[in-house]
């Protein structure tokens, strides 16, 4: 089996569903390499499901189609920003996806998470609660958190800082 390229900001895109097995011919390199990127593509052309992970990793797809795979990233230096938006598979959220940042760099996206998955990551839960506390009363927050689902909505998006290892999350729903 061909080994997928390394994505430091999205370490296992097959597990998260961003990269899938596919016989599609890549719109960039013209090869059918057995895998395609299934996540969002911000470009003029409709490229969803038509790019191979290798053309994302080496930046050729981003350059050729002026494409981005993530639109919103919290504040990071521009060289890192370009790696996250142009050389990293994005992920599909219910709303505009947002790449979380910690220690001055983009965090690694680990996938969607529900209440069960988040139970193992108390720091991520704390971050979610603090986020929600700005607008919601505590009882409503706990109801919402217990309703979080990995494959449904509302859902949380779990990240881990590449530098200090802290788990981070945000959540959304339609
Ligand atoms: Zn390709
Ligand atoms: Zn950190």
pTM given for the model = 0.93
- Burial grade of 40 (CB within 10 A; 0-12, 13-18, 19 or more): buried
Please tell me the predicted confidence (pLDDT) of residue 41.
96
Return the ligand number nearest the Cα of 105: 2
pLDDT in tens, 100-110: 999 999 999 99
Cα gap 106→162, rounded to integer Å: 8
> With bands split at pLDDT 50, 70 and 90, how would you rate the model's confidence at 73?
confident
- Whether the per-residue pLDDT at 71 is higher than 90: the answer is no
- Whether the per-residue pLDDT at 114 is higher than 80: the answer is yes
Number of Cβ within 10 Å of residue 78's Cβ equals 7
pLDDT in tens, 18-48: 999 999 999 999 999 999 999 999 999 999 9
How far does residue 158's CA lie from ligand 2's centre (Å)? 14
pLDDT in tens, 135-174: 889 889 999 999 999 999 999 999 999 999 999 999 988 8
Kindly list the protein residues that place their beta carbon closer than 5 angstroms to ligand 1, a single-atom ion: 26, 28-29, 52, 55
């Amino acid at each position: 089996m061909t080994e997928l390229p390394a994505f430091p900001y999205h370490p296992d895109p097959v597990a998260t569903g961003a990269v899938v097995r596919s016989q599609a011919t890549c719109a960039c390199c013209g090869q059918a390499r057995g895998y395609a990127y299934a996540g969002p593509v911000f470009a003029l052309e409709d490229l969803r499901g038509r790019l191979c992970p290798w053309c994302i990793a080496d930046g050729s797809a981003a350059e050729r189609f002026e494409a981005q795979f993530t639109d919103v990233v919290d504040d990071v230096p521009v060289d890192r920003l370009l790696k996250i938006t142009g050389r990293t598979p994005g992920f599909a959220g219910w709303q505009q996806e947002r790449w979380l940042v910690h220690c001055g760099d983009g965090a690694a996206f680990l996938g969607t998470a529900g209440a069960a998955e988040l139970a193992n990551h108390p720091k991520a839960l704390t971050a979610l609660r603090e986020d929600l506390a700005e607008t919601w009363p505590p009882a409503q927050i706990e109801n919402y958190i217990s309703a979080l689902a990995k494959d449904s909505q509302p859902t949380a998006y779990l990240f881990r800082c590449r530098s200090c290892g802290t788990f981070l999350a945000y959540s959304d729903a339609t």
